[in-house]
């Protein structure tokens, strides 16, 4: 008896619980609600479904985490996701193989993200405005090669990403896990990650401490572009094609995932662990409501309410600690 109270106290005291308690509770509540209504929800297969659906958002949200940590925002990721798919489709139709196409697609993401970064850092424009503009530009550019028609992709390796499994897990989930590990380590264990925290926490102090904040910003927007391009690869693989309206509105889901995960929009505070938990919440909501055949417009309303509730819970638990 005493033992269990002690464990409970130890759990409550651990920084991990304090940091992610609110969001984990939200996640559990959502799962309980959905599983009471629909018994199929808790099935292992459905969990795999959620993970696959969440993959595209989660990977884009990894990139978004760096951007928001810096106190910036990237609204162009949804458009970059679509451009990446179209670039891949075009590369394949020109006869490039799988590996060169992957590199071309990632390079396209890096260039688009880099452009966001350069415009914001060098012309001193707010990233919100820059990426509102490039969101439109990139979205329009998707239709250039095909005049707005979708382009099908038939490279088998490419399609295998979205359909095959390895060691019992879909490849897409392996990719989400691997990218999580890489980004988590970069953010928490490298000088680069630390500089992102510092520059986001206090830009002036970072500049005085010898951090080249402009260069850091460009690199971070490039990372966001590359992550969005990977999302584009996952999405086009699952759809077997590049759609001009692919990824529409995904930037908002990615931002919601990051913010749900406790990353401060003011910059300087946040983690990748929080982001993946936030992405899971978005995924669970989407999946649960699809399963219950809730009409799309109700889904939007419910999702908005859950985001408000979860963020409020988080803010409240943080202010109680302070």
Partner 1 sequence: MIASPNAPVLEIKDVAKTFGPVTALKRMNLSVRSGRVHTLLGENGAGKSTLMKILVGLFQPTSGSITLRGKPYAPKNPIEAKALGLSIVFQELSLCRNLSVAENILATHEPNSFGFIKERDLNAQAAQIVSELGLPVNVRTKVGDLSIAQRQLVEIAKGLSRPADVVILDEPTSSLSDSEAEILFTIIDRLKAKGTAIIYISHRMEEIMRISDDITVIRDGSFVATTEKQNTSIEGLIALMVGREMKDIYPPRLVERPSSAIAPVLAVENLSEAGRFENVSLDVRPGEVVGLFGLIGSGRSDVMKALFGFGQPTGTIRLNGNPVHLRSPADAIRHGIAFVTENRKEEGLVLQHSVERNINMVALGQLAGQFGFTRPARERAAAKTEILRLAIKTASMETPAGSLSGGNQQKIVIAKWLQTRPKILILDEPTRGVDVGAKFEIYRIIRELAAAGTAILMVSSELPEVLGLSDRLVIMHNKRVAKMLDAQGLSPETVMTYAAGIHQ
- DSSP category for residue 41: G
Residues that bind partner 1 (CB under 8 A): 189-192, 194-195, 197-198, 201-202, 204-212, 268-269
Closest CB to partner 1 among 11 and 207? 207
Q: Residue 201 CB, nearest distance to partner 1 (Å)?
A: 4
CB of 73 to partner 1, least distance (A): 19
Is the CB of 174 or the CB of 197 nearer to partner 1? 197
Minimum distance from residue 99 beta carbon to partner 1 (Å): 25
Min CB(68)–partner 1 separation in Å:
15
Cβ nearer to partner 1, comparing 39 with 210? 210
Extract the tokens encoding 215. 């260069």
Comparison of 162 and 268: residue with beta carbon closer to partner 1:
268
Q: Select 36 or 190, whichever has its Cβ closest to partner 1.
A: 190
Neighbour count for residue 78 (Cβ, 10 Å): 25
Measure Cα distances from 310 to 278, 282, 317 in Å. Answer: 9, 11, 11
DSSP-assigned letters across all residues of 252-270: HHHHHHHHHTT--TTSS--
The Cα angle at residue 99 between residues 97 and 102, in degrees rounded to 5: 105
Query: Least distance in Å: CB of 308 to partner 1?
Result: 24
- Angle subtended at Cα 105 by Cα 131 and Cα 254, rounded to the nearest 5 degrees: 45
Q: Are 80 and 221 in contact (CB under 8 A)?
A: no
In angstroms, the Cα distances linking 172 to 103, 166, 194 are 18, 10, 29
């Amino acid at each position: 008896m005493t033992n269990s109270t002690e464990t409970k106290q130890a759990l409550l005291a651990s920084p991990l619980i304090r940091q992610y308690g609110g969001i984990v509770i939200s996640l559990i509540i959502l799962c309980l609600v959905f599983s009471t209504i629909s018994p199929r929800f808790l099935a292992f297969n459905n969990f795999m479904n959620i993970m696959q659906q969440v993959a595209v958002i989660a990977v884009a949200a990894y990139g978004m985490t760096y951007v928001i940590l810096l106190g910036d925002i990237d609204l162009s990721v949804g458009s970059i996701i679509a451009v990446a798919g179209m670039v891949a489709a075009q590369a394949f139709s020109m006869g490039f193989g799988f590996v060169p196409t992957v590199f071309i697609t990632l390079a396209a993401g890096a260039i688009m993200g880099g452009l966001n970064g350069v415009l914001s850092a060098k012309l001193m424009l707010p990233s919100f405005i820059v990426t509102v503009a490039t969101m439109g530009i990139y979205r329009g550019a998707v239709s250039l090669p095909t005049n707005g028609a979708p382009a099908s992709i038939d490279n088998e390796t490419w399609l295998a990403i979205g359909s095959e499994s390895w060691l019992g897990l879909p490849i897409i989930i392996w990719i989400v896990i691997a990218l999580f590990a890489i980004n988590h380590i970069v953010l928490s264990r490298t000088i680069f990650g630390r500089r992102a925290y510092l520059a986001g926490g206090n830009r002036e102090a970072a500049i005085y401490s010898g951090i080249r904040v402009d260069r850091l910003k460009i690199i971070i927007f490039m990372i966001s572009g590359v992550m969005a391009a990977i999302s584009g690869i996952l999405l086009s693989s699952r759809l077997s094609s590049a759609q001009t309206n692919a990824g529409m509105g995904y930037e908002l889901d990615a931002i919601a995932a990051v913010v749900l995960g406790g990353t401060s929009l003011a910059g300087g505070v946040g983690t990748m662990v929080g982001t993946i938990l936030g992405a899971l919440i978005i995924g669970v909501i989407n999946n649960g409501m699809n399963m219950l055949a809730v009409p799309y417009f109700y889904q939007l309303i419910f999702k908005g309410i859950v985001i408000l509730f979860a963020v409020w819970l988080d803010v409240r638990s943080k202010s109680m600690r302070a």
